Structure 1
C-alpha cells in the first residue's frame, strides 16, 4: 500500500499511533534545534517546533506529492518545559519534581499539504507520590532516557499515573483526534 503522508519524525510512538488508525506513511525525520527561546511559553514552544519540523521536512524533500506531518510534545510543570533528560541526574530530578503533582502535556501537530494547518492538545496528568526507590528502579529500566519529562505513559511509567484528563495519545506524542481532523482537512480520511 502506498504512503498517504510523510512523517517528519523518527519516533516509534508516533509510527505506532499512525499504524493504530491505519494511516500509511513514509518516514523522513528532520533534525532541528529544539531549544526553547528565553521566556517562550509552552504553547508557543510546541507550536513553533512542530511547524519548524514540518517546514524543514518540506524543504528537504522539495515539493512532495504527499502532505508532511510533524508533531512536538512537551511535559510542563508550572511554566517549566521539561524536555528529554540529558542524563541520569536530569531524569531523576524530573521524576522527583513530577511525583505527587499534576502537570500538563502539550502536543502540537503541524501538517503542510494543500496549506499549513496546526492543532494543539493539552492534557493534565497527575502522578501519585513516588518513592525514591521507585524512581531509581524506573531509571534502571531504561525507559526514561528518550522521553519528554522522563517517563512513558504507554510503558512502565503508567504505574505512576493516578489520573489523566485529556488525550492519552497526546501524552504519547501524537493526539489522534486532532491529527485525524488535520488529515481530513487535507482530504485524507481515516475510514
Structure 2
C-alpha cells in the first residue's frame, strides 16, 4: 500500500512548499491550544506545537501526518501572529534594523513512529520607516503571519540577510521535511527518489 500524506495545517505556503518536492498532501487543518507554557523556551514551544498538530489529525491506515509550526523570536520573546494593527506595527518596529531568529519545527507521524526536526534561521532587517510599516500593514499581508511579516512577499524588501533555511522562514524546512518523509516511506519527486531503507 502506498503511503499518502495529511498536512495538518491550513497554510497554503506549506502546501506549496511540499509540492516543490513532489508531495501533494491532503490538507486537514487541526485546532490546538497554542498558548505557551510558563517559562517555555521558544524551541521547546514550537516543537511541542508541531508534535501536537501531527498527533491531533485523524489518520487512516496508509496515511502519514505532517504538523509544523513557525515562530519569530526576538531575544527570547516569541512574536506570534499580530493581534491587531497596533500589535503588527509594534512587531515591525521591534524587528526594524536588527537581527532576529525564525524557528520552524516539523513533526511527521507514520510507519516509523513520530519523527521531528527543528530549524533555526537568523534574519537581519534594515530600518523600516513608520510610513513603510503603515503601508505594509495596509497591504493585508502581515495580519496572519508569525512576527507580522512574510519573507516571501512584500516584506522581502526589508530583509538584508538571511543565515540558514529560507524555506523554514516561509514555513517549512524542505531539506529536513524531505528526510523525515523519506524515513516514513513516502516517495518524493513522484517516486524518483526512493524511500529510505
TM-score (structure 2 length as normaliser): 0.92
Q: CA-atom RMSD, angstroms?
A: 1.2
Matched residue, 1:132? 130
TM-score by length of 1: 0.95
The superposition leaves residues 45-73 of structure 1 with CA deviations (integer Å, 9 ceiling, x where unpaired) of 0100000001111xx34x44211001000
Matched residue SS, 1:67: strand
Which of 76, 95, 106 aligns to 1:109? It is 106
1:98 aligns with 2:95: yes
For structure 2, which runs of at least 5 residues remain unmatched after alignment?
Answer: none
Deviation at 1:189, TM superposition (A): 2.9
Structure 2 residue 74 is the aligned partner of structure 1 residue 77: yes
SS for the counterpart of 2:26 is strand
Q: Give the 3-state SS of the residue equivalent to 1:119 in structure 2.
A: strand
1:3 CA displacement: 7.5
Q: Residue 3 of structure 1 contacts residue 25 of structure 1 at CA under 8 Å; is this kept in 2?
A: no
Match of 2:4 in 1: 4
Q: How many angstroms does 1:104 deviate by?
A: 0.3
Q: Which runs of 4+ in 1 moved over 2 A?
A: none
**Residue 177 (str. 1) matches residue 186 (str. 2):** no
Unaligned segments of structure 1, at least 5 residues? none
SS at match of 1:109: strand
Aligned length: 187
